[in-house]
Amino acid sequence: MVGFRISSYYHAHIGARHTSIEALKKSFASHDKGNVEKSIKRLVKNNLVLHHPTSYGKQYSLNPTKIKNIKKMIGL
């Protein structure tokens, strides 16, 4: 799921700015799209990604308090 973290980091999906799971899947090859939801659930469980329930569906963003950890994981 490094692709999500890098993509979200560069697009500033941090904290209050969030994106849908469908939009996240678009940044992956078709053979990897099945793993996106499982990986997002793991990242939420590890508190690296925040879940934002909205009236129009589930939304996700990087946890602003974990940015240092995320940068370290993706090599920035």
Indicate the number of domains in the chain. Answer: 1
Give the model's pLDDT for residue 45.
93
CATH classification of the domain holding 56: 1.10.10.10
pLDDT band at 37 (very low <50, low <70, confident <90, very high): confident
The mean pLDDT value for 30-53 works out to: 87
Host domain of residue 30: 2-74
* pTM, two decimal places: 0.68
For 47-55, the CB contacts below 8 A with 24+ separation are: 48/5, 48/73, 49/4, 50/15, 50/18, 52/18
